Structure 1
């Protein structure tokens, strides 16, 4: 048996704390994504606003923000106080609650493509359920997806990078070898490839699944007309269009990417911002699209799905979003300011970077002399910035997220730290 007793005093360092976690948590993390590319261990003691405090007492400005849920910053009392209150009232009964209508009604009010929904506990779970519903509705199993898009880690959606022709490979050891047999994959924003797939497989396609803004391999917005093409072809061929708005929902606009770009899917998957950091997700669409769940022609379940604490988090977060008319204009302006300052820092350091932004979602990656992403240099940069009090993810594929808790002064600090840290790296080419 492992000794799991708590020491009377806090660990002396992040490394000591991290090593201690390793003794009882496999790999030291409960998600493999949290360990990718880590050079300097960081163990959090607390978080508030846009800052995290580690076990050594260091305070860091956070540009990762829990992978994006905290649009109002960490520990926002308008949300957390209501969740705490709900725990005192009972957080799980397995029965309907008035919060079901309140929380779902707010989603339906704000998201153009949602009239009805089902709640789930994570983006992975909601995506798995949405794809199953789409296949049940269309009566077809073939799914079109796009390179670089991450749709959770379930058996038929986790894909390895790259593909053999149109066919992706299973993304993890232990998956059934045939798990991807009903999935086609093409490059994002490649309209010609989409047209070829629909010409060859259109009558067999059950669904098309995409992030309307690619945000799991850097940030890549849709090319002009690309989402419209997906909408047109799916309608023509009777396939279901599914938007994975786990990241973009309530983040790039009040109604998500479908509001920002004016393209409404058949099914929408939401998580992250919706619950303000509480573990909750949802998938929804028109009443017609959700009807198979009502008639038991499609299946979805979960003991913890729609638990009262999660729905209180949704209601509190979305009520605050609804009552903030300037929220997304302010986040857009802050994102633009951050983009300018980061580019200035890179230019001053003479180091090429690839930078993309949609609203308050940003991606920055260092480039090598061949203009490819320099992952080793990026990890070294992240570690140097972390030591100077700024945190972003060490994997350049992971975006930065801004919140209302960030100020222009915080952005100035981030830019100054970047400039100082970048100056230590050898200059290669001019900034792109």
Structure 2
């Protein structure tokens, strides 16, 4: 069951509300991606199901869904009421709680590569900890990553897509350039480059870290045999294979991408759907891999890691995932319908959209008629036009759409109609 959107009190304009935010919150947001997600001012008052309501009282169908956690829609009562009950009886004691067992047991039951785990507060924290554990287990320091994959904003993993050879550069001002000294990068699905790295650095690699489905630079599935290659080469060289399933975990199947593709990593990082919108993440693997943490021979900490409210959210979210055997069949059907309708909308406007999808994760990007490449400026104009007609998705074409059980086929039809109208508007503007 899904909650209802609350009544708006004291309506104001999105611009006024956003300007007020910027007076006290740097840039008006607490994440750079949220700033980049506001092509035209949009300040939310409430959200329920597949819809958000802004401070002006406008309702919009949301295809972004909080960057992906809400597989059952916003304000899903099966999750929120379970968490609310936890707040009434203490949500942080700093001690083990029965909910830790309940939540962890569900993760271990559903995810093939996890027997034991540790909880964290965010994907960034969990990824930092997983990489540190891989280094502790192997006694090595090098980590191989892939262009376009996002693994949080920690010092050694936040990097540009461009490389000097295999060496990426720090992405953000203030980062220590030397922090990239132990991070390598090659292209996604580039088997030859992977082979070359292992030939040159195989004995130095602690881990190969990837999103098993690239979902932070469009949606790009692994090429046939590519994950198997990573599994074979890491195993033969003594490196660990680490899957960043922050997005794909419990999203593309019950057991994530590792279940979908049949390739089991040494360590898995999870977040988003696992917590149903509450701040929680986890990293885990076989008991032997987690042994240094179990014996306090490796380090991981965090006052709020495994807080009782987060554990309640994990337990409720994953219990619901487990209880719905047809969930992923339903989401696949909805995704296929959405993909077809988006193509129809593009055809109606005689404009090309690049559409890529794995299950309920889909990237939709406007392309340039002249070059066929993604057109970021045109896509941003398209997003603003759609937002004005009651449909929200991220204005950066790399950012995926996330479908949920709260989206109906009628919602998808509305999105397609709005896309077609907005595409026609953007095309007309370009012709002037």
Q: TM-score, normalised by structure 2?
A: 0.96
What is residue 5 of structure 1 aligned with on the other side? none
Q: Secondary structure at the match of 1:160?
A: strand
Structure 1 9/413 Cα, relative in aligned 2: closer, same or farther at 3 Å? Answer: closer
What whole-Å deviation, never above 9, does each CA across 1:131-153 have from its counterpart, x for those lacking one? 00001101100000000000000
Contact 1:385 1:391 in 2 (8 A): yes
In the TM superposition, residue 424 of structure 1 has moved relative to its aligned partner by 1.6
In the TM superposition, residue 37 of structure 1 has moved relative to its aligned partner by 5.8
- State the alpha-carbon separation in 2 of the partners of residues 197 and 352 from structure 1: 37
What is residue 412 of structure 2 aligned with on the other side? 411
- State the alpha-carbon separation in 1 of the partners of residues 138 and 54 from structure 2: 50
What whole-Å deviation, never above 9, does each CA across 1:306-332 have from its counterpart, x for those lacking one? 000000000000000000000000000
What is residue 149 of structure 1 aligned with on the other side? 149
What is residue 4 of structure 2 aligned with on the other side? none
What is residue 90 of structure 1 aligned with on the other side? 90
Q: Secondary structure at the match of 1:364?
A: strand
Q: Mapping of 1:198-209 within 5 angstroms?
A: 198-209=198-209
- State the alpha-carbon separation in 2 of the partners of residues 352 and 342 from structure 1: 10
What is residue 422 of structure 1 aligned with on the other side? 423
**Unmatched segments (≥5 aa) in structure 1:** 1-7
Contact 1:121 1:281 in 2 (8 A): yes
Q: Secondary structure at the match of 1:350?
A: coil
What is residue 328 of structure 2 aligned with on the other side? 328
What is residue 23 of structure 1 aligned with on the other side? 23
Q: Mapping of 1:74-113 within 5 angstroms?
A: 74-113=74-113
Contact 1:351 1:427 in 2 (8 A): no
Q: Mapping of 1:33-432 within 5 angstroms?
A: 33-36=33-36, 38-368=38-368, 369-426=370-427
Contact 1:14 1:43 in 2 (8 A): yes
- State the alpha-carbon separation in 2 of the partners of residues 386 and 249 from structure 1: 29
**Unmatched segments (≥5 aa) in structure 2:** 1-7
What whole-Å deviation, never above 9, does each CA across 1:96-147 have from its counterpart, x for those lacking one? 0001110000000000000000000000000000000001101100000000
Structure 1 37/114 Cα, relative in aligned 2: closer, same or farther at 3 Å? Answer: closer
Q: Secondary structure at the match of 2:213?
A: coil
Q: Secondary structure at the match of 1:282?
A: strand
- State the alpha-carbon separation in 2 of the partners of residues 275 and 262 from structure 1: 24
- State the alpha-carbon separation in 2 of the partners of residues 380 and 216 from structure 1: 21
- Aligned positions, number: 421
Structure 1 211/55 Cα, relative in aligned 2: closer, same or farther at 3 Å? Answer: same
Q: Secondary structure at the match of 2:416?
A: helix
What whole-Å deviation, never above 9, does each CA across 1:167-225 have from its counterpart, x for those lacking one? 00011111111010001100000000000000111111110000000000000000000
- State the alpha-carbon separation in 2 of the partners of residues 194 and 269 from structure 1: 22
In the TM superposition, residue 372 of structure 1 has moved relative to its aligned partner by 1.3
Q: TM-score, normalised by structure 1?
A: 0.96
In the TM superposition, residue 161 of structure 1 has moved relative to its aligned partner by 2.3
What whole-Å deviation, never above 9, does each CA across 1:336-368 have from its counterpart, x for those lacking one? 000000001001111111110000000011111
In the TM superposition, residue 426 of structure 1 has moved relative to its aligned partner by 2.7
Q: Secondary structure at the match of 2:181?
A: coil
What whole-Å deviation, never above 9, does each CA across 1:206-264 have from its counterpart, x for those lacking one? 10000000000000000000000000000000001000000000000000000000000
In the TM superposition, residue 78 of structure 1 has moved relative to its aligned partner by 0.6
In the TM superposition, residue 9 of structure 1 has moved relative to its aligned partner by 6.8
In the TM superposition, residue 11 of structure 1 has moved relative to its aligned partner by 5.2
Contact 1:113 1:264 in 2 (8 A): yes
